[in-house]
Structure 1
Amino acid sequence: MHPAILWRPVKNLDIQCEACSHFCYLKEGEKGKCGVRINQKGRLYTLVKDKIAALNLDPVEKKPLFHFLPGSKTLSLATMGCNFACIFCQNHSLSQPPKKDGTILGENISADSILQLAKEEGALSVSYTYSEPTIFIELVLEVSRKAQVEGIKNILVTNGYQSPKALEELGPYIQAANVDLKSFAECFYREYCQASLKTVLNNLEHMKKLGWWLEITTLVITELNDSPQELKNIARYIQNYLGKETPWHISRYHPSYKLNNPPTPLSTLEKAYEIGKEVGLDYVYLGNVPGHMSESTYCPACGKVVIARRGFTLLEINLKEGKCAFCDYKIAGDFSNLN
């Protein structure tokens, strides 16, 4: 247990956590919605700063990030816990146990050891991922500050539910983020995630202003968020508020955790892809469909393949200093590792 940041005293021993936009009001001894931040005698503590539950070397494409250091490795880390309660969570064994029965597992691995491992493995970045990095923000800040000194970049894979103060704390140290935009309906967020769409949208715009490279992921779930109108609303939002150059990853759902809806038909995903392109997005990708043509990056100007992919593997690169090798069009993103 370590002292936490981002909280304020309220009265007597009551406090309010300000790490995420739930702004949990905690009486003495109570934990937040995440299950890993606790009020002890009128002060907020984190239960996970020294409990890393996952540490893996991943292709950066797995985050997914297709326009940020493509083909590179990223050292991915996470603790247990999450401030959402998605009934379709793909990582529920990591995110939900602290809330269900108080289980918090993990190892105490120092920031220096994490960065030493990243350097030994040739990772160009560290990713805070798998669960929700906002709830282990103390660890994120400690590692990311040191990573920046070492020339290693930092990636946030997040549900986008930070508090404004948390985003400002993270702002100088994060270079890229993949953010889940799970739906474009408030009722979806309330019923299936116990959260709010409006907060996520506000935070996406905040992240954009911070200068982070953003890519958006939508898990398309059969019968829940797969209507053409909702998908069009998401695409229009990305274009109007984040920019048409912002990649949109449309990911295939498979039954998981508490939800047993049928897997997303490929035809639904392909329709979503068409919608994204019709709205005017430059870069639309389908996820969890290895071998599909939509895994590759196409030049918005000439239409030729600038990065060919299969799954997380790069097959062909037709970029020169971040520009299309065929027509010299500037492709949005950070391709500095390819120069």
Structure 2
Amino acid sequence: MKETCTVCMHRCRLKPGQFGRCGARKNVNGMLVCENYGRVTALALDPIEKKPLSMYHPGSLILSVGSFGCNLACPFCQNFDISMKNADQAETVFLSPEKLASKASELRKRGNIGVAYTYNEPLVGYEYVRDAAKIVRQYGMKNVLVTNGAFPEAVENAVLPYMDAMNIDLKGIRQEYYKKLGGDLETVQRFIRRAADHCHVELTVLIVPGENDTREEMEEMAAWIASVDPEIPLHVSRFYPRWRMMDRGATEVQQVYRLAETARTWLKYVFTGNC
């Protein structure tokens, strides 16, 4: 019998043995199971600016952890080697929430302030994020989420009480572009609004030539962000050819700067990245 997964907007109908689009959730004998719980593909102590977060504890380090799977399918994904794999394909090691939090605490002496859930899409396995974040908080440390925000209220609410900061990837401001990536603009906008009411939020937009790189789109995006809060920092980031999008060159640096300047008409804090 097929079961419906409700973790994201796709609501995948899964037969026994079948993975959802995200590659992380599976129908196992009629039960929907999170197959990436505690299965880590990447662990590194990163500068917090790499998340990117420019206005949250700048100059600090944060222990960054990732698993596998993603509910979008961006053809330019930088981490496709983990985000586009499922439990049968990914190379992982198991790290319990308790051990992750303990490791984060051990790294305080090197300047670590907490844990960032990142690299793949963390919320396809939100249960691990929730469980680890609770323990990290008990150690008196910070939790950071790096997400595409393409999740309903129930999933966001499961982790939001434990998050101190987020970087949310706002792919564009047009629904037709989101559909090309396998997402939904309104879902992401609702996610951003709720997050901005509860923790520090910064946004990132990757400027892809021929896709979301017009002045009109940036004006529309910046105006919408300002309607939520004009002090939300926006990172305007340069595209480089990657994975299934090798058919065009990198975004012109001056175009990134021009679009960032456009965004500053509405927003107080605008940064450029990958330039």
TM-score interval for Structure 1 and Structure 2 normalised by the shorter chain: over 0.9
Contact map agreement 2:148 2:188 (CA 8 A) in 1: yes
Structure 1 residues 58-73: aligned runs within 5 Å: 58-73=46-61
What is the distance in 2 between the residues matched to 1:256 and 1:82? 17
Q: What is the percentage of aligned positions where both structures have the same residue?
A: 33
Contact map agreement 2:23 2:68 (CA 8 A) in 1: no
**Offset of residue 221 of structure 1:** 0.8
What is the distance in 1 between the residues matched to 2:99 and 2:162? 19
2:144 aligns to what? Answer: 155
Is 1:117 aligned to residue 106 of structure 2?
no
From 210, 222, 231, the equivalent of 1:223 is 210
- Say which SS state the counterpart of residue 18 (structure 2) adopts: coil
1:95 aligns to what? Answer: 83
1:312 aligns to what? Answer: none
Residue identity matched to 2:104 = A
From 231, 234, 240, the equivalent of 1:248 is 234
1:327 aligns to what? Answer: none
Residue identity matched to 1:196 = D
Is 1:268 aligned to residue 255 of structure 2?
yes
Runs of 5+ in structure 2 lacking a partner?
none
What is the distance in 1 between the residues matched to 2:28 and 2:81? 26
**Offset of residue 98 of structure 1:** 2.1
What is the distance in 2 between the residues matched to 1:173 and 1:116? 17
Which structure's CA Rg is the greater one? 1
Is 1:235 aligned to residue 222 of structure 2?
yes
Is 1:198 aligned to residue 186 of structure 2?
yes
1:38 aligns to what? Answer: 26
Structure 1 residues 158-197: aligned runs within 5 Å: 158-191=147-180, 193-197=181-185
TM-score, length-scaled by structure 1 = 0.77
Contact map agreement 1:48 1:104 (CA 8 A) in 2: no
Map Cα deviations across residues 254-296 of structure 1 (whole Å, 9 max, x no partner). 00001022111111111111101122x110000012xxxxxxx
What is the distance in 2 between the residues matched to 1:94 and 1:254? 18
Contact map agreement 2:67 2:120 (CA 8 A) in 1: yes
What is the distance in 1 between the residues matched to 2:38 and 2:136? 18
- Say which SS state the counterpart of residue 171 (structure 1) adopts: helix
Contact map agreement 2:105 2:114 (CA 8 A) in 1: no
What is the distance in 1 between the residues matched to 2:114 and 2:10? 29
- Say which SS state the counterpart of residue 86 (structure 2) adopts: helix
Q: Which runs of 4+ in 1 moved over 4 A?
A: none
Choose between structure 1 and 2 for higher RCO, CA contacts under 8 A separated by at least 6 residues. Answer: 2
**Offset of residue 141 of structure 1:** 1.2
**Offset of residue 199 of structure 1:** 1.1
What is the distance in 1 between the residues matched to 2:41 and 2:66? 6
- Say which SS state the counterpart of residue 210 (structure 2) adopts: coil
What is the distance in 2 between the residues matched to 1:120 and 1:205? 34
What is the distance in 1 between the residues matched to 2:143 and 2:10? 25
TM-score, length-scaled by structure 2 = 0.95
What is the distance in 2 between the residues matched to 1:181 and 1:37? 24
1:53 aligns to what? Answer: 41
Indicate the RMSD between aligned Cα atoms, in angstroms. Answer: 1.3
**Offset of residue 104 of structure 1:** 2.2
Runs of 5+ in structure 1 lacking a partner?
1-12, 290-339
